Amino acid sequence: MAEMKEVAPNIYLLKIPVPLRVRNINAYIFRGQKPTLIDTGTNTPGVYEMIQTALKRLEIKHVEQVILTHWHVDHSGIARQFAEQGARVLIGLKDYTKWKKFVEGKGGDLYRDWALKEWEVPSDQLIERMNKAYGNPRQKMTTLPDHIDEIIPMEMLPAGDYQLQAIPTPGHTEGHFAFFENEGKKLFTGDMLLPDMISYPDIWREEGKFTSGLVSHLQSLDIMEKLDANAYFPSHGEPQLDPALRCQETRNEIHKQAVQYDPTRSVFENAVRLNHGTENLAGLFMRLHYVYGWKKIFEQTQKDIDAQNVGQVAALKNTGR
């Protein structure tokens, strides 16, 4: 039986065990005029039944909509089952595109491209081994609905007796959304603000170039901090007060971690050093995402320093010194 508790009036946190490093996923059930579920858990035995049992305890006969913070398997896993029961499934368009490619097994070429060019992984064979260790086991943990509805940035979504504003918060994925309930100042943060960890950043193309989601993560922290929420409800860990403080702490942690990046080494070499070798392929896959983000932060810092130096030189010339 999954642990369930009421975390706000008619909002229930259902802690669902998942066979992943994070161990549990928080699904949020909204009871009221429009019964709603935020995130679903993995497509693994017993998960759908856990949620159905929780719904019966809450005397909810039918979930009308499933809102996904992002596409990852612990969040999207059984969305299809709810869609087949008539629920509306909502997700950001960018994440739906990535989710669809993942389920159909069409993301491998893009992954190989960035692993070779951006991470500088030395061989196709090692890339394939990492994919088998990390990606392949997860492919069966999620199911794609025949139809989804796109979440429009900043739109208002009814959930239970509440209204949630969809806040774009890219970083962990390109199309990640958080959801803000303005009246009670409650923020449902998905994986973008967690109490005990920093989620790994995705990688995607932006204006034709690869970029790390860690740069966007820092910008998303600014956005969430300015919402002035009183409490946040993460996908992993317990709900917490003072999300603005956690945004500041997370920002500082990211910058402290980024200091580990050694610009004299490749992304791959940095990741192997931190991973203590290549034996733990799933761990190496995760560390490559982080290190690539640190590299992008380092490059952006160097650009800012260069621009500042140019500005200082120009100012000195203008003063005649």
pLDDT in 10s for each residue of the chain, 321 residues? 678 999 999 999 999 999 988 889 999 999 999 999 999 999 999 999 999 999 999 999 999 999 999 999 999 999 999 999 999 999 999 999 999 999 998 877 778 888 999 999 999 999 999 888 887 788 899 999 999 999 999 999 999 999 999 999 999 999 999 999 999 999 999 999 999 999 999 999 888 888 999 999 999 999 999 999 999 999 999 999 999 999 999 999 999 999 999 999 999 999 999 999 999 998 999 999 999 999 999 998 887 665 555 444 445 456 655
> Is residue 123 located within the same domain as residue 249?
yes
> Is residue 177 located within the same domain as residue 124?
yes
Q: Which domain holds residue 138?
A: 3-258
> Is residue 41 located within the same domain as residue 103?
yes
Using CA atoms, how far residue 209 sits from 37, 108, 114, 151, 205, in Å, is 35, 18, 10, 25, 5
> Is residue 163 located within the same domain as residue 247?
yes
> Is residue 87 located within the same domain as residue 52?
yes
> Is residue 179 located within the same domain as residue 313?
no
How many domains does one find in the chain?
2
Domain limit, last residue, from 231, 258, 285: 258
Neighbouring C-alpha atoms within 13 Å toward the C-beta of 136: 8
Domain limit, last residue, from 258, 282, 304: 258
Q: What is the distance between the terminal CA atoms of the chain, rounded to a whole angstrom?
A: 75
Per-residue pLDDT, 316: 47
Per-residue pLDDT, 208: 84
Neighbouring C-alpha atoms within 13 Å toward the C-beta of 49: 4
> Is residue 158 located within the same domain as residue 299?
no
| Secondary structure (H, E, C), the chain | CCEEEEEECCEEEEEEECCCCCCEEEEEEECCCECEEECCCCCCCCHHHHHHHHHHHCCCCCCCEEECCCCCHHHHCCHHHHHHCCCEEEECHHHHHHHHHHHCCCCHHHHHHHHHHCCCCCCHHHHHHHHHHHCHHHHCCCCCCCCCEECCCCCEEEEECEEEEEEECCCCCCCCEEEEECCCCEEEEECCCCCCCCCCCCEEEECCEEEEHHHHHHHHHHHHHHCCCCEEEECCCCCEECHHHHHHHHHHHHHHHHCCCCCCCCHHHHHHHHHCCCCCHHHHHHHHHHHHHHHHHHHHHHHHHHHHHHHHHHHHHHCCC
